[in-house]
Amino acid sequence: MTEKHKELGVEVIGAGISGNKVPDLQRRLERDVLKKKPTVVFIYIGINDVWHGESDPKKARRSISLKLA
C-alpha cells in the first residue's frame, strides 16, 4: 500500500507474529501497536485459536474489542 499509493502518505506497520493466538496479542497489543498511536488498526487473528481447539471464537473477538475501546 505504501508503494502503490505514495500520495496518501500512509505508513503500514506489520506487527503480526506467526503462531500467535488471541492471548498472545492481548499481552503485546499496547506495546506493539497502540503505543505507536495508529489512525487505523487491522487485526487478523483467531485462526490459530480455532486450530488449537478454541470453541468460542466470538469470546476472543470480544476480549480484543474491549481492549481497543
Is the CB of residue 60 less than 8 Å from the CB of residue 46? yes
Which residue has cell 506495546? 31
Contact 16, 44 (CB under 8 A): yes
What would the pLDDT profile of 21-42 be if each residue is shown by its tens digit?
888 888 999 999 999 998 888 8
Give 1-18 pLDDT, tens digit per residue: 778 888 988 888 889 888
pLDDT of 64 strictly over 70: no
Q: What value does the mean pLDDT take over residues 33-53?
A: 82
SS3 16: coil
Global pTM exceeds 0.75: no
Q: Which of 11, 15, 48 is nearest to 30 (CA)?
A: 15
